[in-house]
Each structure stands twice: as C-alpha cells, then as structure tokens.
C-alpha cells in the first residue's frame, strides 16, 4: 500500500505589475496565502510531497516526481501521471513541453526506451495509443474517423477502450511521430484566457510487454514463458474554467460544460477515496468516462502521481484554492500496486508443475513432518489427558474410601464415648448404692446393740427379732421358790444337753428343780445372748468392713478406670477433630480435583476439535490439489492442441525488436 504522490507547480506570472493585496508564498513543501504585509491568512495553508516554484523546469519535475513511476512501469507495474488545474495554468506545457524544455511525455518516452536497452536479460515489446475525451465521447487520435469508442471490462484485460488503435513502436522517434499525429487531430480552441486552449482530455497510453531472453542462463526457469505487461497512462486534462472569465459561447460553452462536469466527477471520486473505509460510500467511477478509464489508477493497481498547476495571479486565487484543495484530498488516497504478469499456456503449465512439485516436496518433506508432529503431539496430548483423567478417577475413589473409613472411625469413637459415659454413670450409681448399704448396716448394728432382752428357756435356736424384742417384757422379777443349797442332784444345762444327745441317767436321783426366781436363768441367758449377739455383731462388722473395703477398692478402681476413660475420650475427641479437619481438607481436594478434571476434559475436547479441523483441512487440501492437477492436465492438453493448430495454420507471429 502506498499513497498517491502529489506535487504543485506555479507557472510564471503574466501580470504586468498590477497591484495585489494577496499573494502565494512557497516555503519548502508548504504553500500559504499571505497579505502584502506578510500576515498569513488563516485556513489557507497546504503541504505536499513537492512544490515547484516559477523557476522550475520540466526536467526537474520529471526527475523528482515521474521518473520512479517510469522505471516501475518497465519492471511490470502500472503507472499514471496526470496534470490538473484551471485553464491556462500550464498543464499542457508540463505534459508536452517545448523544444527547449521537453515535457513529461517526451522525457518518459526516452527514458523507457533507454531503460529497455539497458536491461539486457529481457526483451521488450512496446505498443502506444492516443485518445481524447471530447464532450464525453472517446475519439482515437491516431485514426481519423475512429470516434465514439465504447469502454469495456474483462477479467483478462481489465478496463479498456474497444476499437482503439495500438501501434507497435521500436524507437522514441517513432513514438514522437505518433504523438505529433495525435496532436494534429486533437481539439483546441481559443478563449479569453488562452489562445490555444485544450478542449478535451487526452490520454497517451504505452503498453510495455517484456519476457526473459534466456531462462536457462538466467536460472529463472519458472518465468521462462511469463510475460510482464504494464500500462502507463500520461494524462493531460483540460482545465476548469469560468464562463465569466473565458467568455465562451456556443460550441466553446458546450465544451466547457462537459469539461467542468468531468472534472467535478473526478473531484467527487477523489473526495470519496480520501475518506475512511467505514465512512466511504459509493464511488461514482461510471459517472464520467474519464474516471472510468482512470479507475485502476485511483485507489487501484497502479503507481500514480498528480501534478497540480497553479496560476499565481491574485485574480485566480479562488481557482487556485480549489486546485490546492483537490490536491490535498488526492494526497490521502492509497493504491496497491503489484507486478502484472500474463502467462501463456505453456508458462502457466510449467509454473503450475513447479508449484505442484514444491507442494509435493512440502507434503513429503518438512510439511508432512510438521503435520505428523502435530498429529503425534495431538495424540500425546489426548493420551496424557486420558491418563490424567484416570489418575483423577483413582484419586477420587481413594478419597471416597478414605472418607468412608473416616466416617466409620468417627462412628466407632462415638460409640466408645457413649460407653464411657454409661460406665461413668454406673460407677456413680454404684458409689451411691454402697453408701446407702453402709448406712443400713450402721443402723442395724445400733438396733442389735440396744437389745437387752433374754430368752425364757435356754434355747440356742435363732429366734426372730420380733420375739427378741418382746422378750423385754419378761425382764422383771418372778416369784419363785428359793434356790437350793446343793446343786449336785439337780439337772443342769449340761445334763440336758447330754440327755438330748441320747444319754441315759437315773431319773429318780434327780431332784425336782427348786423354785427360784427367773433372775438366774435370765442372767445366764442374757450372758449367753450377749455373747452370741456380740459374736454376731463382730461377724457382721467384719463382714461389713470387708464389704466396705471391697467397695472402696472397687470404687478406687472405678475412679482410675473413669480417669483413664476420660483421657482416652479426650484423645479420641482430638483425633476426631483432626479427622474432621482432614475430611474437610479432603473435600476441598476433591472439589479442586473435580474442577481440574473438568478443565482437562474441556482441553481434551478442544484438542480433539483441532485435530478434526486439521484432518478436514488436509482433506480439503488434497481435494484441491487433485482438482488443480486435473485442471492443469486438461490445460496442458488444450494448449498442446492449440499449438498444433497454430503450427498447422502457420500464422506468422510478430517478432520482438531490440530497442
């Protein structure tokens, strides 16, 4: 992409020392309007690529602005150069020049042939044509009567004028003769502003074809039959004019209207092209035949330069300002120029074969290796994703098992805590029951110690407590006979014991038991009862002491066991808390692993889609390759048939001349 090169040229002044209030000032590449005292007028300042003052020559303008386009045209680029400005501002002089100061067209023609002669590795064929646009009608200036030519467009030639004569030229002098012929057929007229005013737009066109002379020695086999074709347009526009200044009437008035209309459409096209792409609307190329022919040169495939000529007199300030505004808009236009090549069937076939071989080498070589590497990388990524997915599944399963084990352990610990709590409660109940038993024993001992009754008869059988308690009623003295003095023949307790055991004795020896008071029996019974009661109480006390000692030992053991259980319970609670913390951490890890798994699955799906797209691209490429190969084969057969037909018809072909 490159912008159009725009230059401004001031012609020498023709005013005869007339007083002026304003004048143009040139400073480097800037133009501004100033008052006589040097004060610049705001809003009237312009900057361009080149600004030529009144002393500049056509050769200077050509060297700085047009020469690069001419050399590019010889190398296969399209080029356009045209002069724009008001009438009598020096456009025709700039393009055609004079004998002393040749213009751009003569200098370009000489430069083209000189460059062609200096290029030894290529041979050239140059064709020229000369046309004018007069009252919106295209006339051929090289052939009389060849008028009102139509404009056509095709894929091969682009935009062209049908029926336009093209002359093959071999030298600059031959071209100058054709230009002289065309100038004789061109429409000129006289107006108040110019004695020889151009009444039409002229386009001098040169078609430059070139091909490689010896492709084998040059090493460029692919371009052996390739022909570079470039089109160079050198345009001399008719000047815009005001009827009040030119005094045109009749035919001149009609010519002026068509000139102004085509220049106005050219200005509209320039303004549209200078806008941004989003704001740019329809570009009216077809509204004028001039813009239609110059369409490739304006925002298309061409290198373009514009020379805007300006009259320095104060009377032409408004026209000059319009010319400078037109130049400012054209400076913002960008073109995309490229080398134009026309391939013959043989050249096209050869180039396509080379491209096919190159594509095959790429497919079989580095390109196929790259594809294989990409496919292998995709497979490795998929395998890695599968392994990651399996690893995540295993980790999730292990986390699930560990979570179940933790829950089971927590349940067991809870059961142990409940058992410890129940044991602690039972030990407290045992201590309270032991205390109650001890209180009951103390109460029973006090009851036994308070009993003082005796048995009526020496009976050693155990009697109930209610009987013993009732014995207290017999504790008073009973009336009886006095005790005997001799107890030898009296039956005592031992005798009764022996009799009870089956011992026999003389009952007549025995004396009747004398009457005595119950005190003696009571005293003996009381002593015996007291001894028995004391023995029983001692045994009860010993038993109670033993029981109490056992309970105390059991209580101490229960306390120790309870303390141990409490310590174990605290340990289990701490372990439970740690297990709960580990469970929460495991849950977080599971969530992270699940998110990572989802991300990996997404990446796996993306990689699969990429691999699928790559396979589709390879398939499409192979189809296009096969179709192109078939097309080339058919093209080769057609070209071969055409060559045979040409040989059979023996049509003479034009030879290329050295310049």
Residue 545: exposed, middle, or buried by beta-carbon count in 10 A (0-12, 13-18, 19+)?
exposed
Distance in angstroms (rounded) separating the CA atoms of residues 184 and 189: 13
C-beta of residue 565 within 8 angstroms of C-beta of residue 424: yes
C-beta of residue 211 within 8 angstroms of C-beta of residue 226: yes
Strand partners of residue 303: 79
300 annotated as a binding-site residue: no
Distance in angstroms (rounded) separating the CA atoms of residues 299 and 276: 13
Cα atoms in the 13 Å half-sphere on the side-chain side of 522:
14
Give the pairing type, strands 5-10 and 303-310.
parallel
254 annotated as a binding-site residue: no
117 annotated as a binding-site residue: no
Distance in angstroms (rounded) separating the CA atoms of residues 526 and 62: 167
Q: Could you tell me how many residues make up the chain?
A: 659
Contacts of 484 (CB under 8 A, 6+ apart): 490, 511, 514, 516
Find, among 315, 310, 324, the residue nearest to 242 by Cα. Answer: 315
Find, among 77, 71, 69, 158, the residue nearest to 340 by Cα. Answer: 77
Which tokens hold the place of 490? 């009296």
DSSP 119-157: -TTEEEEEEEEEEEEETTEEEETTSTT--S--EEEETTT
344 annotated as a binding-site residue: no
Is residue 516 helix, strand or coil? coil
Which tokens hold the place of 152? 């056509």
C-beta of residue 124 within 8 angstroms of C-beta of residue 278: no
Neighbours of 311 (CB within 10 A): 26
Strand residue runs (E) in 238-302: none
Distance in angstroms (rounded) separating the CA atoms of residues 332 and 284: 18
Find, among 235, 237, 230, 282, the residue nearest to 258 by Cα. Answer: 237
Torsion angle, alpha carbons of 617, 621, 627, 632, to 10? 160
304 annotated as a binding-site residue: no
Distance in angstroms (rounded) separating the CA atoms of residues 35 and 118: 52
Strand partners of residue 127: 168, 207
Task: Give kind and range of the element (H or E) at residue 496.
Answer: helix 493-500
85 annotated as a binding-site residue: yes
Helix axes 345-364, 518-649, angle to 10 degrees: 160
Which tokens hold the place of 626? 């096969």
91 annotated as a binding-site residue: yes
Backbone angles phi, psi at 340, to 5 degrees: -100, 120
Is residue 44 helix, strand or coil? strand
Contacts of 283 (CB under 8 A, 6+ apart): 269, 272, 273, 299
88 annotated as a binding-site residue: yes
Q: Residue ranges for the binding site?
A: 85-92
Q: Residue ranges for the binding site for ATP?
A: 85-92
């Amino acid at each position: 992409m490159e912008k159009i090169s725009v230059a401004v040229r001031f012609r020498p002044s023709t005013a005869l020392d007339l007083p002026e209030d304003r004048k143009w000032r040139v400073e480097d590449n800037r133009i501004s309007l100033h008052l006589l005292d040097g004060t610049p007028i705001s809003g009237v300042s312009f900057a361009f690529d080149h600004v030529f003052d009144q002393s500049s020559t056509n050769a200077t303008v050509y060297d700085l602005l047009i020469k690069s386009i001419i050399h590019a045209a010889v190398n296969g680029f399209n080029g356009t150069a045209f002069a724009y400005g008001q009438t009598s501002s020096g456009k025709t002089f700039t393009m055609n020049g004079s004998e002393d100061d040749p213009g751009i067209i003569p200098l370009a023609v000489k430069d083209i042939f000189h460059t062609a002669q200096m290029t030894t590795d290529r041979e050239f064929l140059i064709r020229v044509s000369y046309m004018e646009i007069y009252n919106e009608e295209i006339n051929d200036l090289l052939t009389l009567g060849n008028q009102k030519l139509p404009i056509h467009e095709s894929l091969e030639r682009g935009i062209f004028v049908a029926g336009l004569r093209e002359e093959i030229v071999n030298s600059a002098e031959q071209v100058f003769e054709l230009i002289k012929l065309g100038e004789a057929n061109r429409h000129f007229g006289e107006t108040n502003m110019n004695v020889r005013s151009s009444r039409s737009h002229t386009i001098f066109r040169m078609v430059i074809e070139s091909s490689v002379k010896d492709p084998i020695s040059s090493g460029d086999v692919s371009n052996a039959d390739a022909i570079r074709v470039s089109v160079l347009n050198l345009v001399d526009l008719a000047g815009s004019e005001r009827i009040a200044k030119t005094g045109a009437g009749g035919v001149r008035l009609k010519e002026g209207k068509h000139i102004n209309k085509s220049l106005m459409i050219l200005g509209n096209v320039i303004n549209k092209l200078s806008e941004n792409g989003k704001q740019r609307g329809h570009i009216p190329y077809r509204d004028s035949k001039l813009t239609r022919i110059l369409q490739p040169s304006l925002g298309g495939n061409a290198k373009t330069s514009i020379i805007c000529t300006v009259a320095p007199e104060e009377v032409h300030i408004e026209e000059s300002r319009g010319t400078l505004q037109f130049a400012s808009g054209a400076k913002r236009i960008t073109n995309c120029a490229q080398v134009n090549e026309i391939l013959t069937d043989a050249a096209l076939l050869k180039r396509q074969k080379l491209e096919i071989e190159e594509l095959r080498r790429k497919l079989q070589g580095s390109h196929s290796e790259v594809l294989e590497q990409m496919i292998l990388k995709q497979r490795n990524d998929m395998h890695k994703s599968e392994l990651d997915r399996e690893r995540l599944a295993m980790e999730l399963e292990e986390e699930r098992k560990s979570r179940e084990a933790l829950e089971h352990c927590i349940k067991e610990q809870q059961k142990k805590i409940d058992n410890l709590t129940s044991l602690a409660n039972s030990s407290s109940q045992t201590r309270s029951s032991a205390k109650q038993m001890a209180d009951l024993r103390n109460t029973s001992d006090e009851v036994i110690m308070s009993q003082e009754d005796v048995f009526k008869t020496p009976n050693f059988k155990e009697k109930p407590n209610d009987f013993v308690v009732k014995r207290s009623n017999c504790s008073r003295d009973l009336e009886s006979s006095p005790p005997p003095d001799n107890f030898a023949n009296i039956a005592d307790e031992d005798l009764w014991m022996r009799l009870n055991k089956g011992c026999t004795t003389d009952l007549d020896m025995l004396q009747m038991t004398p009457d005595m008071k119950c005190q003696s029996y009571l005293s003996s019974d009381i002593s015996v009862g007291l001894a028995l009661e004391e023995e029983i109480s001692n045994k009860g006390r010993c038993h109670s002491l033993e029981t109490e000692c056992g309970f105390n030992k059991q209580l101490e053991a229960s306390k120790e066991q309870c303390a141990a259980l409490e310590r174990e319970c605290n340990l289990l609670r701490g372990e439970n808390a740690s297990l709960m913390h580990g469970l929460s951490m495991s849950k977080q890890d599971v969530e992270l692993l699940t998110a990572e798994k989802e991300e990996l699955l997404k990446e796996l799906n993306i990689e699969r889609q990429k691999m699928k797209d790559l396979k589709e691209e390879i398939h499409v490429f192979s189809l296009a390759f096969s179709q192109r190969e078939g097309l080339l084969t058919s093209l080769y057969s057609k070209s071969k048939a055409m060559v045979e037909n040409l040989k059979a018809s023996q049509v003479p072909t034009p030879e290329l001349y050295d310049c």
